[in-house]
Amino acid sequence: MSDYTCDELIGEIFQRLPPKSLFRFRSLSKAWCSRIASPDFISKHGSARNLQKVLIKHTTYCQGRPTGDLYTLHLEDRLPLSEYKGITPVEFPNKDFNIIGSCNGILCVFGVDKLITLWNPSIRRKLTVPSHQYYFQDSFEGFNVYGFGFDPTTEDYKIVWISNLRSRKSLVYTINTGLWCAITSPITTFCEVKSCPCFVNGALHWVVGNNLHSYILTFDLSTHIFGRISLPKPGWETTQLAIINGSLAVISCKVDNSWIWVRKKYDTVTSWSFFLKSDGYPYEGIIERVLQMTTNGDFVFYTSHEGYKVYNPTTGERSRLVKYKAHSENVDFKARSEIVDVKTYVESFELLNTGTAWN
């Protein structure tokens, strides 16, 4: 009984430790290494801790010219509102990339080499996704649409690729198989993708449009079926999606006003509910992006006039995210940085058994 209790306590302690610490503990014993690498522990560790962080992308400039991008990682209650004391940039395998999506500690990125890679910064693991047969045929002919998320029915991470031009093909890549497979393409064609992909309720969402109207294109990661959702009315310009209180939300803009609508009942047609309007205090300018903080209830807004700001809906208090400045005597006084993107990130052990280490 004492051995069982001890083992149970060790399990409880392990569940509360961050991935970086546990990653080092693997070398202390074979039993610990096996335990930490087990799929059951990896799954339970992520759901037990669920400590959401905020990943901030900065573009640096010198004498007015961009010199590169850097990323910093912050706890939700320790966002940079005054300084970046003790914060160092996050190291990634490559420097030039765009983030397609972030899910359970995995970043799906698209690099300048036109390759897709999955990264887990917490344990410094990466997985290179092979190119599919239609990639080079379509890459220079038009646009490719990507999305990344998690299928709870198969417990698998998936990447979807959609081409709307020459091949008219759609493919899905799964980590478990390591392969791309063909799926039925969307019935309705579209010529413009207006938003970044948004993963919620087991499905990916994009705002797409053609010459007549715009709508939300959906893709269910379990059934591999595309669908569509009508945008809320009035039919203003909608270019961004968000997740608010666990539900899909859209940001609609007109002149200097913005409206945020939340789809509270996902499986019904008339489920859009008004959430927020920006025509006055505490906002200035059009809301272009919104990110909800799950721990303290704050929101991070990007407005056309004020940039990124943190807003507390209970107190009405708002604070600006400060720009990153390296603490070094050798920093050029003409150098500066701008915050260009903010995403949520959760530390995890995902890719521990399937990825490879990066130096």
pLDDT single digits (tens) 301-316: 888 788 898 988 888 8
Query: Greater confidence, 41 or 163?
Result: 163
Lowest-pLDDT range of 23-37, 96-110, 137-151: 23-37
**pTM of the entire predicted model:** 0.84
Pair 228, 220: CB distance under 8 Å: no
Total domains in the chain come to: 2
User: Do residue 5 and residue 147 come from a single domain?
Assistant: no
Tell me the CA distances in angstroms from 207 to 1, 5, 66, 147, one per residue in order.
Answer: 57, 52, 30, 12
User: Do residue 14 and residue 121 come from a single domain?
Assistant: no
**Chain CA centroid to CA 148, Å:** 9
User: Do residue 204 and residue 316 come from a single domain?
Assistant: yes
CATH number at residue 252: 2.120.10.80
- Model pLDDT for residues 263-273, shown as the tens digit of each residue: 876 555 558 88
Residue by residue, DSSP assigns 221-265 as TTT--EEEEPPPSS--EEEEEEEETTEEEEEEEETTEEEEEEESS
Counting every residue written for the chain, the total comes to 359
User: Do residue 158 and residue 64 come from a single domain?
Assistant: yes
Question: Is the pLDDT confidence value at 231 over 60?
Answer: yes
User: Do residue 178 and residue 32 come from a single domain?
Assistant: no
User: Do residue 314 and residue 173 come from a single domain?
Assistant: yes
- Model pLDDT for residues 341-356, shown as the tens digit of each residue: 999 888 888 888 888 9
**Domain extent at residue 27:** 1-49
Count other C-beta atoms under 10 Å from residue 45's C-beta: 22
- Model pLDDT for residues 66-88, shown as the tens digit of each residue: 888 999 999 888 888 888 888 88
Question: Is the pLDDT confidence value at 206 over 80?
Answer: yes
